[in-house]
Structure 1
Amino acid sequence: QRSELDPDHSIIGSEDCLYLNVYRPKRDSTELLPVMVYIHGGGYFYGSADPAIYGPERILATQQVLLVTIQYRLGVFGFLSTGDAVVPGNAGMHDQVLALKWVQRHIRSYGGDPQLVTIFGESAGGASVQFHMISPLSRSLFHKAIIMSGSALAAWSLPIDDPLALARRQAKLVGVSEADELSTTELADVLRYIDGKVLAASAPHLRSWFEHPIVLYRPVIEHKSVPEAERFLPDDPRRLWTEGYLVDVPLLIGTVPEDGAVVSLPILHNETVLQELNENFVKLFPTLLALNGTPDVVNQIKKRYFTGSSPMITKENSQQLTKLLTDAFIKYPVYLTQLEYINATSREQTTQYSFEFVGRHSFSSLYSQSNESHGVVHQDELIYLFRMPELFSDFPDDSAEAKMSSLWTEFIVSFASKSQPIDRVEKVTFKNAVPPSDDTSALISRDSGLDTEMLDVIAFWDKIYNSSYIAYH
């Protein structure tokens, strides 16, 4: 894979990647503990279960659960498909299923309870959790789910129109000039001979503008020629989720305020790219948002996010680009996921969180290559759940960050380890205490989950995507 955290984007990792980590707290009791299985994000093309980034210490300190972090094949290696039974696709998702089966078979030997497994993930890892909720291959492998700032219903995660065309483009990029004439079997054979580092390095060249579309390889609907018992994703995830073809397990779901910064900051901090977007917004619209950029759709979005500004995106209103991308890519699909989950399952007890705590560390420094503050951005909530010694220094023991880390970790772990349900649809917000206070209750607020902002975002983007969505192809 290409390193997304390294400015030089060097090729790192190995094709020999199917490993998992099992962490258990030190304790004398022989009682089996609930198990939490973490699926990392990274757009299905980047990431790992490296303990230098997903350190287990904070979760283990609760003494309440075992933690398992898993890896799966990524990018072209995990999600290439020829659209038939030759290379059905979803290899990375099948890797995740295999890891969950391993947990069922072996976790008891480590002191874990195979009947109390919670799967959780962030970004594409969160979308993966949702895919497992609708996949017939994952049923009975887990018992609770936590979706963090990701969704299988997001435009960046929905199946592409023509995976075979993408496979042929990929082959041509690495020198297979006759790719269009090859049968799918011949195409697969040729690609298997290509050096893995060459394939990984070539993938970004499939993008049509700057870093977009960000997610090229992703889960696909497996072809009818694939035996039914082997299909991870048998149909469109939107239909499966909306019509209730999902496993009815307790769900915790949430976002952070500036999730879209992972997409907006690289644009805003590159003057050339920002100018291109301002000058060619209608043309770049489908690439950026997976939408047909008709004048009506463009005007609706401009009116909502950039009223009267010329150029459209300026230094003064740059936060609006982050808001637009947060709403379109994360909040809309996440809110829709929760609302349709409630409707499909008649499960009135769900919790939505909003992590709004601003601390000394932020992934924005990596997205923008600067020290400017951009609020709480995509992945920032993970800094308080996992130790990340490779990226950020530890918090001082008596700091507000350490206090928030304890509260946040306890909240996430308690969902997995405790059985008492809440009695309503609830929203839990984690934030900075104003004024600063030693009272930890000042850091958390609880409200009704289905608020007007949530319903407004759903209504606007439902109308936009239902009329103008263009699947990546």
Structure 2
Amino acid sequence: MKSSKKFHFGVNTIFIVVTFIFIVIVCFVKSSAGAEYKIVETKDGKVRGVRDTTLIKKVDFDSFKGIPYAENPIGELRYKAPEPVKSWAPIILNATEFGSTCTQISLLAPENPLQQSENCLFLNVYVPADIESDEKLAVLVYIHGGAFTEGSGNDDMFGPDFLIEQRVILVTLNYRLGIFGFISFETPEYSGNMALKDQQLALKWVQANIKQFSGDNKRITLFGESAGGVLSHVQILSSESRKYFRNAILLSGTAESDWGFASKNGHRSIAHEIARDLGKPQDSMQSLINFFKTVPAESIVKYASAASLFTKTPVTTWAPILERGDAIHPFIVEYPKAIYNKSNIDVDTMFALCSLESMMLYNEKFEDCYDLKGFDRNFSITFPFRGADLPFDSTEYKKLAAEVRYFYFKDAAIDVQTLKPYISLLSDVFFAYGVDKGAKLHAKKSAAKTFYYRFSVDSKFNAIKRWHGGGPGFAGAGHADDLCYIFRCRNAQPFYDEALSTPDDEQSKISLRAVENITKLFANFAKYGEPTYQQEPIAGFLPIDDDQVNFLDVTNDGLMPGVNPNQKAMEFWAHVEREVQEIQAKSKQFVHEEL
């Protein structure tokens, strides 16, 4: 109703209106400034969202930003599992602005600082506006990436427009990052993985409340990219989390990625090092925990950023960790293969990879940042699977490293002339092999369907590539180049403006068609449990079967079904992994965790 007008109701009329509002628990308010708001009553209290319109098709939607799903994780709750948010009733929560992002130091976007706080456990809900009273829409819940140490669910990169245009609901969320989200003091009470526990609580909140937003809580799809893909996969492995979603999409990261788990038994010693570095050495575990619970966040945030994932030893310090069996709230205590072997994981899952993931490394200063000549002289790289503990100076490692070098470079020198095989090597090591292993493991051990697609589009919305100067001069999609086709990335608005202002340009057509295709696949998967429905956007996208990896290639020319993507390289790395297992078994150094 317009606030500038006055209405005079009789008693009966007032009773009818109040009853109607109570039943549907939704009302609209239009301000004198023209903005249209919507109020929804969640189990924790009412929230006021605001009307917006999508970029391409001009579809109206309601946006609810900064809804808290957990109590502020400070004081006694720092480094512990989150507590559900307390009700804010009778206050109406103004959900028109994003909440603070979680404390972080951004290496990916240092020029774009965000409002940060430890009080950051918020989620955002985006809903098409023209919903019938009895309609329930499928829901997609997104876990952002950022090397486990940075990022947020905000619309600078994860705007809802293109998914809203497919008539689904989108939920994005924040979770604790870096040291705040993962550190384990290796005690029952402080066992780590707070980020995973945050996400699980957010999923529980969505399951309990999405009906109020006209969502179908029996059709919730979890998805995430890069580190978010790993975290989404770990949620699949949790029997508790699986109660809160139906299926999942994992982009450019899985729990089988080598960097997907932190090194075992390392956080306690790191915590002591941090305390000493801050001039506050601690002589007991209890005093160490007390120190970390009270030290200002700004004093330890510098220790929360990611070590480089893209060096020859891509070990992530702050990442999911196996918790001890005596943990009070353990999230994961075994590696994925062991969980698959003993669990009935019935989550239909779609795995995805960009065609040349490590092209994201390339920028105008590439030759200054990456010592190709040194790599040529001393070829060594960490193998892309857990438990490969061969010393770089061992005879066995050198033999296998020589095989790797020959597979990618033959007898050529490693320099700017062999840049493409160099990027292919890093793509396979850091991303492709982990995604391939994760998809095959899920297909083999799960009773559910497993789909696989590759994103190969190279056009106007490949934001990462364009921000990095246009790439190294060969076609392909690098890491995260798919994101601005799935989401409206407000940071990339000039790229959208360029395409929308020249709709007849061939590259504009390619970009807009790719948006339609990829979001249609996602929306179909959320709605119907299949990425194609009634042969749209394509027929013939089959799940992986026992004999071959069926996949779909999303290209500049459209959607292309195929089999066994990157087969030679994946078979080569499977051979290397078997060789390492045999060497370590013979030397009695074989790590029996997961190989």
TM over 0.5: yes
Matches within 5 A, 1:41-52: 41-52=145-156
For 1:211 and 1:199, locate their aligned partners in 2 and report how far apart those are by CA, in whole Å.
27
Residues 97-106 or 184-193, more deviating: 184-193
- The residue that corresponds to 1:80 in the other structure is 183
- How far did residue 285 of structure 1 move? 4.7
Corresponding position: 1:66 with 2:169: yes
Indicate which of 332, 335, 350 corresponds to 2:450.
350
Corresponding position: 1:233 with 2:332: yes
Residues 243-252 or 444-453, more deviating: 444-453
- The residue that corresponds to 1:114 in the other structure is 217
Q: Is the 8 A contact 2:309 2:316 kept in 1?
A: no
Q: Is the 8 A contact 2:145 2:225 kept in 1?
A: yes
- The residue that corresponds to 2:577 in the other structure is 462
Matches within 5 A, 1:234-383: 234-241=333-340, 243-245=341-343, 247-263=345-361, 268-271=366-369, 273-282=371-380, 285=382, 292=390, 293=392, 294-310=397-413, 313-347=414-448, 349-365=449-465, 368=468, 372-373=472-473, 375-383=476-484
Change (3 A) 1:221 1:264: farther
For 2:306 and 2:217, locate their aligned partners in 1 and report how far apart those are by CA, in whole Å.
43
Change (3 A) 1:274 1:85: farther
Amino acid at match of 1:416: A
Q: Is the 8 A contact 2:120 2:174 kept in 1?
A: yes
Q: Is the 8 A contact 2:140 2:170 kept in 1?
A: yes
Cα deviation 1:256-314 (Å, max 9, x = unaligned): 111123456699442564455445544x758999763221232122121232234xx30
- How far did residue 174 of structure 1 move? 3.3
Amino acid at match of 1:24: V
Indicate which of 411, 415, 429 corresponds to 2:553.
429
Change (3 A) 1:326 1:371: closer
Corresponding position: 1:215 with 2:316: yes
Question: What are structure 1's unaligned runs of at least 5 residues?
Answer: 434-442
- How far did residue 379 of structure 1 move? 0.6
- How far did residue 136 of structure 1 move? 2.9
Q: Is the 8 A contact 2:312 2:382 kept in 1?
A: no
- How far did residue 128 of structure 1 move? 1.0
Corresponding position: 1:26 with 2:129: yes
Secondary structure at the aligned position of 2:228 is classed as helix
Amino acid at match of 1:408: I
Identity %: 25
For 2:273 and 2:188, locate their aligned partners in 1 and report how far apart those are by CA, in whole Å.
19
Cα deviation 1:332-361 (Å, max 9, x = unaligned): 1111111111211244x4321011010124
- How far did residue 161 of structure 1 move? 1.8
For 1:146 and 1:432, locate their aligned partners in 2 and report how far apart those are by CA, in whole Å.
22
Corresponding position: 1:189 with 2:302: no
Change (3 A) 1:130 1:75: same
For 1:112 and 1:76, locate their aligned partners in 2 and report how far apart those are by CA, in whole Å.
34
- The residue that corresponds to 1:418 in the other structure is 528
Secondary structure at the aligned position of 1:140 is classed as helix
For 2:221 and 2:444, locate their aligned partners in 1 and report how far apart those are by CA, in whole Å.
22
Residues 8-17 or 397-406, more deviating: 8-17
Amino acid at match of 1:352: Y
Q: Is the 8 A contact 2:186 2:268 kept in 1?
A: yes
Change (3 A) 1:66 1:184: same
- How far did residue 231 of structure 1 move? 1.2
- How far did residue 390 of structure 1 move? 1.5
Residues 82-91 or 254-263, more deviating: 254-263
Cα deviation 1:400-427 (Å, max 9, x = unaligned): 2112111111111111111458765331
For 2:374 and 2:270, locate their aligned partners in 1 and report how far apart those are by CA, in whole Å.
26
Corresponding position: 1:36 with 2:135: no
Secondary structure at the aligned position of 1:403 is classed as helix
Amino acid at match of 1:389: R
Matches within 5 A, 1:133-152: 133-152=236-255
| RMSD, matched Cα | 3.2
- How far did residue 25 of structure 1 move? 0.7
Cα deviation 1:119-142 (Å, max 9, x = unaligned): 001111111111011113312111
Q: Is the 8 A contact 1:364 1:373 kept in 2?
A: no
Change (3 A) 1:350 1:234: same
Residues 11-20 or 147-156, more deviating: 11-20
Q: Is the 8 A contact 1:351 1:449 kept in 2?
A: no
Change (3 A) 1:16 1:29: same
Corresponding position: 1:94 with 2:192: no
For 2:320 and 2:343, locate their aligned partners in 1 and report how far apart those are by CA, in whole Å.
17
Q: Is the 8 A contact 1:257 1:376 kept in 2?
A: yes
- The residue that corresponds to 2:517 in the other structure is 407
- The residue that corresponds to 1:389 in the other structure is 490
Cα deviation 1:158-209 (Å, max 9, x = unaligned): 2412132233333334333x35xx3222112212333322322234596799
- How far did residue 324 of structure 1 move? 1.2
Secondary structure at the aligned position of 2:244 is classed as coil
For 1:214 and 1:373, locate their aligned partners in 2 and report how far apart those are by CA, in whole Å.
30
Change (3 A) 1:196 1:259: same
Matches within 5 A, 1:443-462: 443-448=558-563, 452-453=567-568, 456-457=571-572, 459-462=574-577
Amino acid at match of 1:202: Y
Q: Is the 8 A contact 1:262 1:367 kept in 2?
A: no
Pairs aligned (count): 451
Amino acid at match of 2:337: R
For 1:233 and 1:305, locate their aligned partners in 2 and report how far apart those are by CA, in whole Å.
36
For 1:114 and 1:142, locate their aligned partners in 2 and report how far apart those are by CA, in whole Å.
8
Change (3 A) 1:42 1:145: same
Residues 258-267 or 217-226, more deviating: 258-267
Q: Is the 8 A contact 1:86 1:184 kept in 2?
A: no
Change (3 A) 1:20 1:355: same
Question: Comparing both structures, which one devotes a greater share of its residues to strand?
Answer: 2
Secondary structure at the aligned position of 1:139 is classed as helix
Change (3 A) 1:261 1:188: farther
TM-score, normalised via structure 1 length: 0.85
Question: Comparing both structures, which one devotes a greater share of its residues to helix?
Answer: 1
Change (3 A) 1:304 1:166: farther
- The residue that corresponds to 1:438 in the other structure is none
Question: What are structure 2's unaligned runs of at least 5 residues?
Answer: 1-103, 532-540, 545-549, 585-589
